[in-house]
Amino acid sequence: MMIFNEPVSIARSKYEEELKKYVDGVKSVNDLVGVMTMGSIGAPGLSDLDVICVVKDNFNKKYSNKLSVNHLDKNIFLHGPVIVPESMIEDLQYLIYASNLTDTDKVELASKVRELSNLEKKNLSLAYLVDFTESRLIQYAITKQQDKIDKRAWMTRLWSYVHTQNLCQYAEIKLSEDSCKIIEDITNLRENWLNGNPCNNDYFLNLFYHSEAVAKEVMIAACKESYMSAGSPEIISDPCIFENRNKRIICSSNTSEPYSLIRTLKIRNQTIPFITTYAPVEYAAHLNNYEFPNECFQKHLPVTPKTNTYLEILTKRSRLVYRHNLFLKEKNINYSMKGYLGIPYDFSNPIIRLFYKGYWQWVANINKE
């Protein structure tokens, strides 16, 4: 596998300069309430800036492009900001996993984010473990399909396993000794790099491949725990297939190890990725409890009454993420980070929907042959 983008140290002052440049640049946006940051710059050169912009609910979409980070240093802003309407700031933790929130100006925003109760923290941690890990399986699949790996990006992603370990503790999921050892190796890799020691490519690649086993273990354990927390609903179809846009998830009792596959379809100059995730059958209950607004997500499982706290939290998260996605769509904001629930929402026109449906039907017919 080809390795590119060797990480290099970046002065902490450069992060401060880029953040100031961004904040100063968006102050002129009339519908902006304020800007926060989340996370920390624990490893300058590996860490990135995570920015949250809070805007008025009636945000004028003519300002949409003004909040982008495309004009700033790509080594510091690895992704776009999170754009959140003011009315949703209280429940920010239901949209994204946000830690160490810090105000960047005189406007107090971090204090408006409601602190989670211990029960909410435990249940949301479990939901995030399922959702994050499924998205991580896709990242492994994309990288292996391309046969090239962005070293800086993956050293940052590998560090996220430390956060995964914390979420496992909150959700009361115990990781195996092998997984704990891999996470320890990831911690040592980062510390050695911070101390000025270059990261050997062979060692890095070895850690990349071994770390996927951690994701698979977490996915299996989290899906089982989520299923039991939801009251162990009867699954009346095996496999359960969930499908929307360019994503298909096949939940089956025959899936011993979860994984993702990427197919691409080229149309003129555009390449469209089609993603299939093979997951434990218990994952179907998790998706069903998110109440996606599509009939195909309801026909596999009976509707479960929302009678316990975990189900109530999943329902609340689902509805907030949907509302946030719809807000971004209406305001023409296509660069914002947003809540991830495994299945993408489809706000496209009927012709586009028919195209995606036709593709998956074609794939299904091929698999039958």
Taking the domains of the chain in order of start, what are their residue ranges? 2-112, 117-229, 234-303+339-369
The confidence score (pLDDT) of residue 289 equals 87
The side-by-side arrangement of strands in the sheet containing 50-55 is 82-85, 50-55, 32-38, 102-103
The confidence score (pLDDT) of residue 365 equals 66
**In the chain, which ranges are continuous DSSP H helix?**
12-26, 92-95, 118-146, 151-170, 177-194, 201-229, 283-289, 309-330, 350-368
User: Which residue in 242, 275, 243 sits closest to 357, CA to CA?
Assistant: 243
* Average confidence (pLDDT) per 10 residues, the chain, 369 residues: 94 94 92 94 92 96 92 92 96 93 90 94 96 97 96 94 96 97 96 90 96 98 94 82 90 94 86 93 90 46 60 93 95 94 86 85 67
CA distances from residue 244 to 45, 346, 354, 362 in whole angstroms, order as listed: 37, 7, 11, 15
Contact 215/230 with Cβ under 8 angstroms?
no
The confidence score (pLDDT) of residue 298 equals 45
User: Radius of gyration of the chain from Cα atoms?
Assistant: 21
The confidence score (pLDDT) of residue 301 equals 46
Q: Alpha-carbon torsion 94, 312, 298, 221, what sign?
A: positive
Spatial separation of the C-alpha atoms in residues 337 and 79, rounded to whole Å: 8
Spatial separation of the C-alpha atoms in residues 1 and 24, rounded to whole Å: 41
Answer CATH for 2-112 from 3.40.50, 3.30.460, 3.40.228, 1.25.40: 3.30.460
Q: Alpha-carbon torsion 278, 282, 288, 290, what sign?
A: negative
Residue 336, amino acid: S
Strand pairing report for 102-103 and 32-38:
antiparallel
User: Which residue in 295, 334, 313 sits closest to 79, CA to CA?
Assistant: 334
The confidence score (pLDDT) of residue 367 equals 63
Residue labelled with tokens 């996927």: 212
